[in-house]
Amino acid sequence: MVNDSLHGLVEQRLRQVCQRYTNGRREVVELLARAGYPVSIGDIAELAPRLPRSSAYRHLVNLQQAGVVRRVSGNDEFSRFELAEEITEHHHHLVCTHCGKVIDVTPTKAFEEAMNKYLASLAASHGFASDDHRLDILGSCSTCRAPQPQL
């Protein structure tokens, strides 16, 4: 969903930290919105070859500070980035342990409520105040599970 309200929201958030919504930043935001899954710097270089690396990194940092972008750690050593949940919605990740692909999944409300309740008590019993959670499902995607056509 690459709608117009998205850009309004992003601009507003950037303003709150005295930053402008420039073309480069807009390009990153649109790329993330279009992708719909956590994107690595390599992905960004492919999807937006004209965007210099140093700028891409900086835009990601700025957008993170504005609460627009979130860093996601997958199973490999590369950082991935996606729009923050306040911009899209709360969700979890399916991570393929073979090819590293990450896709988003939205849980049911019932599951989330049960989970949050449980996690709060678990955290409290260790002196933590729980704000949020991160749930990744590790497995193998259909492509990696398919019989190899040739090898």
Partner DNA sequence: TCCGGATTGAGACTCAGTCTCAAAAGAGGC
Partner DNA sequence: GCCTCTTTTGAGACTGAGTCTCAATCCGGA
Q: List contacts with DNA (CB under 7 A).
A: 14, 18-20, 22-25, 40-41, 51-55, 57-59, 61-62, 77-79
Count CB atoms within 10 A of the CB of residue 100. 15
d(CA 65, CA 37) in angstroms, rounded, equals 20
Written as six digits, the tokens of 42 are 């390599």
- Mapping DSSP to helix (H, G, I), strand (E, B) and coil, where does residue 92 land? strand
The 3-state DSSP class for residue 70 equals: strand
Kindly tell me which residue out of 5, 23, 142, 150 binds its own copies, with binding defined by CB under 8 A.
142
Site residues, Zn ion (CB under 5 A): 96, 98-99, 101, 112, 141, 144
Displacement of CA 83 from its chain's centroid (Å): 5
Q: Which partner, Zn ion, DNA, its own copies, none, binds residue 114 by CB below 5 to 8 Å per kind?
A: its own copies
Q: C-beta of 142: minimal distance to Zn ion in Å?
A: 8
**At residue 110, what are phi and psi to the nearest 5 degrees?**
-60, -45
**With respect to its own copies, which residue has the nearer C-beta, 1 or 129?**
129
CB of 72 to DNA, least distance (A): 11
Q: Considering CB distances under 5 to 8 angstroms, the limit depending on partner class, which of its own copies, DNA, Zn ion, none binds residue 9?
A: none
> Which tokens sit at 145?
């599970």
